[in-house]
């Protein structure tokens, strides 16, 4: 109850980032519950990174930046939904191309062979967050082009097409070209965070993707316990 109240206030924008929220005793009067109940709820939200609490000073809305975990292979849909936001996809390209030498090497297929190519734009609450530029090995997923990617992500389809065996990630910071800047709604001079991801399945390279993110409002994050 306290939790929902706080989250909805933040969601609605009434309590902005960095703003101080009512004290525990004020929330007690407001919601008619005991202080411990309020305390536990705020404590949990603090542990989750939604709030920041400072003893003696007050409770504040934590600054939020879109984050993606790179340790797990979650698809962007789940990432966004997990943050309580709305995910939507726009299909920009869905085609067959014949690969040049570089692409052939990248996918480990013969040069000139046909491969599938898709370009999607993912939005978080209508704000563009990722361009997903993907090449897929047709031998791995022959029906890749027939899917409705406004409903499922390519990730989901590919995971269903075969067991994931190996993943390769390369992360880079690159300047934004004009097309990218326009699509991602970025300011001039802002950099792009580029995540290249190749996946192996059934002994072949199933897919190679370039995931482009606006550097100013996106970061990759991961936290792990070290082996004991």
Partner DNA sequence: CGGCAGTAGTTGCATATACAAGTTTATACA
Partner DNA sequence: TGTATAAACTTGTATATGCAACTACTGCCG
- Identify which range of 84-92, 133-141, 144-152, 185-193 contacts a copy of itself by CB under 8 A: 185-193
Contact 132, 208 (CB under 8 A): no
- Identify which range of 26-34, 124-132, 150-158, 201-209 contacts DNA by CB under 7 A: 26-34
Interactions with DNA, residue window 152-211 (CB under 7 A): none
Site string for a copy of itself, 54-73 (x = CB under 8 A): ----------xxxxx-xxxx
- Which backbone phi and psi does 218 adopt, to 5 degrees? -145, 140
Interactions with a copy of itself, residue window 6-35 (CB under 8 A): 11
Interactions with DNA, residue window 44-73 (CB under 7 A): 46, 53-59
Per CB under 7 A, does 110 bind DNA?
yes
- Helix (H) or strand (E) holding 104, with range, is helix 101-107
Interactions with a copy of itself, residue window 98-137 (CB under 8 A): 105
Q: How many residues bind a copy of itself (CB under 8 A)?
A: 49
122 vs 130: CA distance, rounded Å: 5
Q: Which does 46 bind (CB under 5 to 8 A by kind): a copy of itself, DNA, none?
A: DNA
Q: Which does 203 bind (CB under 5 to 8 A by kind): a copy of itself, DNA, none?
A: none
Backbone torsion region of residue 26, taken as left when φ is above 0, otherwise alpha when ψ lies between -120 and 50, otherwise beta? alpha
Q: Which does 34 bind (CB under 5 to 8 A by kind): a copy of itself, DNA, none?
A: DNA
132 vs 91: CA distance, rounded Å: 10
- Helix (H) or strand (E) holding 190, with range, is none
As measured in angstroms, the least distance from the Cβ of 109 to DNA is: 10
Per DSSP, the residues of 40-103 read HHHHHHHHTTSEEEETTTEEEEPP--EEEESSS---HHHHHHHTT--EEEEEEEEEEEE--HHH
The only residue of 6, 10, 15, 24 in contact with DNA, by rule CB under 7 A: 24
The only residue of 126, 178, 189, 203 in contact with a copy of itself, by rule CB under 8 A: 189
């Amino acid at each position: 109850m306290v939790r929902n109240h706080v989250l909805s206030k933040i969601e609605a924008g009434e309590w902005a980032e960095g703003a101080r929220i009512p004290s525990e005793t004020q929330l007690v009067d407001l919601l008619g519950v005991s202080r411990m109940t309020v305390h536990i709820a705020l404590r949990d939200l603090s542990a989750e990174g939604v709030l920041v609490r400072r003893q003696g000073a007050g409770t504040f809305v934590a600054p939020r930046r879109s984050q993606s975990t790179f340790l797990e292979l979650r698809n962007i849909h789940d990432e966004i939904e997990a943050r309580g936001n709305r995910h939507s996809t726009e299909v920009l390209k869905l085609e067959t191309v014949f690969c040049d030498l570089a692409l052939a090497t990248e996918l480990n297929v013969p040069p000139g062979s046909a491969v599938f190519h898709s370009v999607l734009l993912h939005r978080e609450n209508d704000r563009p967050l990722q361009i997903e530029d993907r090449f897929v090995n047709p031998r791995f997923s022959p029906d890749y082009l027939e899917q409705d990617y406004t409903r499922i992500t390519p990730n989901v389809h590919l995971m269903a097409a075969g067991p994931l065996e190996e993943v390769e990630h390369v992360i880079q910071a690159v300047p934004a070209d004009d097309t990218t800047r326009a699509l991602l709604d970025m300011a001039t001079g802002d950099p792009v965070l580029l995540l290249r991801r190749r996946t192996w399945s059934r002994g072949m390279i199933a897919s190679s993707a370039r995931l482009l993110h606006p550097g100013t409002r996106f970061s990759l994050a991961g936290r792990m316990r070290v082996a004991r």
